[in-house]
Amino acid sequence: MLSGLFARNSAAKDACSVVAGDQAAPADRTRTSGDALLQALQTRRYGLIVRGRQQWLQHPHFQSVFEEAVKAVDELFALVPEGMVSLSLSTFDQPGQPETEVPTAAFLLARHAVTNADYQLFVDAGGYQQLEIWPRDIWPHLINMKDQTGQPGPRYWRDGQHDRRLARHPVVGVCYYEAAAYAAWAGYRLPTDAEWQMAASWRVRGAADAQRRYPWGDGFEVGRCNLWASGHGGTLPVEACPEGAAPNGVLQLVGNVWEWTDGEFRCTDRDGRLVVGATLLKTIRGGAYDTYFPWQATSTFRTAADSMARSPNIGFRCALDLLTN
């Protein structure tokens, strides 16, 4: 079953991978200046600018800032067309298990997962202190969302800073609420479970009703993604594995890190019993560098993590509703 499908790439090399034992190098802190609009641009909160443009119409630099934001959104996001997905409702992944059909509207999905550099902007802007972007019942838990040195930040950071060698790597060690808070801060949102699956499976409405097992097609190939079989043993920069892109250019939907979605995991087991977690379960998708089974990294595989889990292999990417003129 396993042999032949993937032989572990023991010789995988990555020039950007951090070599164990090297000295960590903290990234620079973000410094912003100017008013709120200019700061939003500096901190790459493009979603906030384009979606909240009404409040800045009178700003003297609004037009140029807005155009720059739109251009950035155009570069950083890709269109996912409308479609229909079948979400599995069972943890027993066999034919005949219950599913639900969910239509998805067209939307924009980030081409990359959120990086450490991106997230640094959020941390430096005091994102953990802006209570309005966090659910009220999570406020008491903010005190636990600290890095290795006790500063607000992802779990594996130190002194509120990421290792600059990992600047272009996806940020990890963030729970679902941190991912959602970042997305809200930047003017985006997390994709829903169905939207994520649509982006990865590309099940566009049509007579053919075809869907892809992986974003690049149906056959697994170890070189197109970063799973356990790839042999990297850790995250890669978000631009890595370009051969694994989806038709619209979105990278690493499969592999590298699991991705939080805005979906509550509601499934039953093979005997029809509801599956629950120690805390609220949120759906994660796509597999990560330590995902052992390629079939647990397909476009349709649904799994979950505790919403408060700050794991070294879970990151996220943002989504944006289509902009209207």
Partner 1 sequence: MSSTVSPSFTACLICGTRNQPKATVCKECSAPMALVHEAEAQQRPPRIVSVVGDSNVGKTVYLGFLLDMLSQRANQFEAIPRGAYSVDLPQNVISHMAYRMFPPKTPVESSEWNWAYYQVCKRGRSPKWVDLVMPDMAGEAIAAEVAAPSTFRVIEQLLARSSGVLLLVDAALAAHGSAQPDFFGVKMLSYLDSLYTTDRRKRIEVPVAVVLTKADYFPECFDDPRRFAQANLTRLCNLCESRLAKVEFFATSVVGALGYATSENDDVVTSIPLHVSLRGVLEPFEWVLQQL
Positions touching partner 1 (CB under 8 A) are: 1-2, 7-8, 10, 91-94, 148, 155, 228-229, 258, 265, 267-269, 271, 273-278, 281, 288, 290-293, 295-296, 301, 303-306, 309-313
Residue closer to partner 1 (CB basis): 5 or 210: 5
Closest-CA residue to 81 (of 167, 188, 199): 199
Residue closer to partner 1 (CB basis): 152 or 231: 231
- What would the DSSP string read from start to end of 113-168? PPBHHHHHHHHHTTGGG-GGGS-GGGGGGGGG-B-TTSSBS-TT-BTTB-BGGGTT
Residue closer to partner 1 (CB basis): 153 or 187: 153
CB of 176 to partner 1, least distance (A): 12
CB of 269 to partner 1, least distance (A): 4
CB of 322 to partner 1, least distance (A): 32
CB of 265 to partner 1, least distance (A): 8
Residue closer to partner 1 (CB basis): 159 or 269: 269
Length of the chain: 325
Query: What's the CA gap between 9 and 216, in Å, rounded?
Result: 19
Query: What's the CA gap between 169 and 226, in Å, rounded?
Result: 12
Per the structure block, which two tokens stand in for 128? 């953990």
User: Phi/psi at 164 (nearest 5 deg)?
Assistant: -60, -20
CB of 262 to partner 1, least distance (A): 17
Residue closer to partner 1 (CB basis): 42 or 91: 91
CA distances to 5, 99, 190, 228, 276 from 293, rounded to whole Å, are 11, 22, 25, 8, 23
Give the type of residue at 255: G
Residue closer to partner 1 (CB basis): 24 or 36: 24
CB of 272 to partner 1, least distance (A): 9
Residue closer to partner 1 (CB basis): 188 or 289: 289
> For the chain, how big is the Rg over CA atoms in Å?
20
CB of 161 to partner 1, least distance (A): 18
Per the structure block, which two tokens stand in for 278? 């120690």
> How do 258-264 and 281-285 pair as beta strands?
antiparallel
Query: What's the CA gap between 83 and 242, in Å, rounded?
Result: 24
**Residue 204: beta bridge partners?**
83
